[in-house]
Structure 1
C-alpha cells in the first residue's frame, strides 16, 4: 500500500517533486504546503500552515523542499507528527544546525533522507557500474559551473554537491581538504572556488566551482587503471579513453533521478536501508569537511 506523503515548499525543486509524485508508484501525494498562496492542485489539498496540514490529512511522510535556512525548524515541527522525512540538500545552513538535526533524529527515531540527486544522475549510475570493474582509481578533476544569480551560494548550491559525489563515488572519507576562494566586483557571494582534497583510500581530487559560466556545466575526468573516464552530468554522456582509442559507454538519455530518490525513500519508510540515498550522518560529515 502506498504511504501518504506531503510536499513542503513549492519552489523550483518542490515543483519537480510534485511532477513525479502526481503519478508515483511509491507514494500517494495528499497535500502541498507553502507559505505563499497558490493555485488549485486538483485532488491535492493546499495549505499554508504545516500543523493544519498534518492535523487535517495526516500524511505519513514528507518531502521538504524549502531553503536550507528553514530546514531545522521545519524538521523539528514535522517530527511531532511523523518519522519519515526526505529533505533536499543541503541538510542545513551550517554544521551546528546539521548536528542539532542529527541529535533530534537519533533521540526521536527519525528516518531522515537527504536529497543529493547527482547520486542518481544517469551518467553517475553508469560511472558507478564502470568503477566496480576498476582495479584502482587514482584521481578526479571536477568542474561544476553555472551562471551567477542573486541567491546563489557557491558552497551550498555547488561545492557541497561535489563533495558528496566524491564520497559516494570513491566510497571513502576525506582525509585532507583545502579551498581557495575569491569574490569579484561588488558581489557579496563567493564567485569562484578551487578545492583540493585527498580521500582515505588515496585518491586525489581537484574541484573547480565557478559562477561565471554562461550555462550549467558539470564534468568529471577520472584517471583509473584501465583508462581515463570523461563524464558529462549535464549532457548525460560517458566516454573512456584507453591506448586503443575512445569508447562511448552506455548512459540512459532520460533523467529519472527524482523518481529513483522516491523509490529509495519508500524503502526507508518501510524500514529498509537507505540504498543510495544520503543520510543525516552523510550530511554532517560534508559540513565537517568544510568547517
Structure 2
C-alpha cells in the first residue's frame, strides 16, 4: 500500500522530487506546499500554509526541500502531525540546530532521513561494489566545483556532501581534519576551500571545493591496492588504471538517485529500515568535523 506524502518546497530540487512522486511506486502525493502558487501538475492539492495542508490532506510523511534556513521551523511544525520526515541537506543552518532536531525527534518518536543523494549516484553505487573487492584503500582525492561564485555557500552545499560521501564510502568516521579557505574581497561568501583529512581506518583524503569552475564537476581519484579508480559523478563514468592498462567499469547511465531515496524513505516509513539513507546522526558528525 502506498504511503500518503506531502511535498514542502517547489524549487529546483523540489520539482525533481515532484517528477518522481507523480509516478512513484511507493508514495501517493496528496499535497504540495509552497510560498508561490503553482499550476496544478496532478491530482493533489496545493497549499501555502503547512497547518492547513496537514488538516486537509492528512499526509503520513513529508518531504522538505525548502532552503536550509527554514528547516528548523518547518520540521518542528511537521513533528506535530507525522512521524516520518525526509529533508534535503544541509538539513539545518548549524550544528546546534541539528542537535536540537535530533533531541526533538527523539522525544516525539519521529524518524528523519537526510537526502544526501550522492549515496545513490550511479558512479558511487559502482564504487561501493568495487570497494568490497579491495583489501586496502590508501587515498581519496575529490574535486567538487561549479560556476556559482556568490550564489551558494560551498561549505554548506559542497563540503558537507563530500564529508558525508567520504564517511559513506570508507565506512569510517573522520578523526583528523584541516581546511584552508579563500574569500576574495569582492565576494560575499567563501569561494575556494581545500580540506585535508584522515579517516579512522587510515585513509588520507583531499577535498577541493571551488566556485570558479566553468561548469559543474564532481570527480574522484582513489588509490587502492589493486589500482587507481577515476570516478566522474556528474558524467556517470568509472574506470580503473592498473599495470595492465585502463579498464572501463560498468555504471548505469541514468540517475535514479531520487527514486532510490524515495524507495528507502518508504522502507523507513513502513518498517523503520532506512538502508543507505543518511540520518540525523550523520549530519551531526559531518558538522562536528567542521566545528
Give the conservation status (yes or no) of the 8 Å contact 2:196–2:206. Answer: yes
Query: Aligned ranges for residues 1-291 of structure 1 at < 5 Å?
Result: 1-291=1-291
Aligned length: 291
Rounded Cα–Cα distance in structure 2 between residues aligned with 1:42 and 1:277? 28
Root mean square deviation, CA, Å? 0.8
Aligned residue for 1:270, secondary structure, equals helix
TM-aligned CA deviation for residue 237 of structure 1: 0.4
Aligned residue for 2:186, secondary structure, equals coil
Give the conservation status (yes or no) of the 8 Å contact 2:105–2:112. Answer: yes
Rounded Cα–Cα distance in structure 2 between residues aligned with 1:83 and 1:198? 36
Which runs of at least 4 in structure 1 moved beyond 3 Å after TM superposition?
none
In structure 2, list runs of 5 or more residues that go unmatched.
none
Aligned residue for 1:168, secondary structure, equals helix
Give the conservation status (yes or no) of the 8 Å contact 2:30–2:44. Answer: yes
TM-aligned CA deviation for residue 188 of structure 1: 1.2
Q: Which moved more, 1:246-255 or 1:31-40?
A: 31-40
Rounded Cα–Cα distance in structure 1 between residues aligned with 2:91 and 2:202? 28
Rounded Cα–Cα distance in structure 2 between residues aligned with 1:149 and 1:136? 37
Aligned residue for 1:69, secondary structure, equals helix
TM-aligned CA deviation for residue 211 of structure 1: 0.1
TM-aligned CA deviation for residue 272 of structure 1: 3.1
Q: TM-score scaled by structure 1?
A: 0.99
Aligned residue for 1:28, secondary structure, equals strand
Question: What's the CA shift string for 1:133-186, capped at 9, x where partnerless?
Answer: 000100000000000154311111111110000000000000010000001241
Question: What's the CA shift string for 1:85-125, capped at 9, x where partnerless?
Answer: 00001111000100000000111111100000000000000
TM-aligned CA deviation for residue 48 of structure 1: 0.2
Aligned residue for 2:156, secondary structure, equals helix
Question: What's the CA shift string for 1:220-260, capped at 9, x where partnerless?
Answer: 00000100000000110000000000000000000000000
Aligned residue for 2:23, secondary structure, equals coil
Q: TM-score scaled by structure 2?
A: 0.99
Rounded Cα–Cα distance in structure 2 between residues aligned with 1:148 and 1:192? 11
In structure 1, list runs of 5 or more residues that go unmatched.
none
Give the conservation status (yes or no) of the 8 Å contact 2:113–2:278. Answer: yes
Give the conservation status (yes or no) of the 8 Å contact 2:191–2:210. Answer: yes
Rounded Cα–Cα distance in structure 2 between residues aligned with 1:14 and 1:287? 24
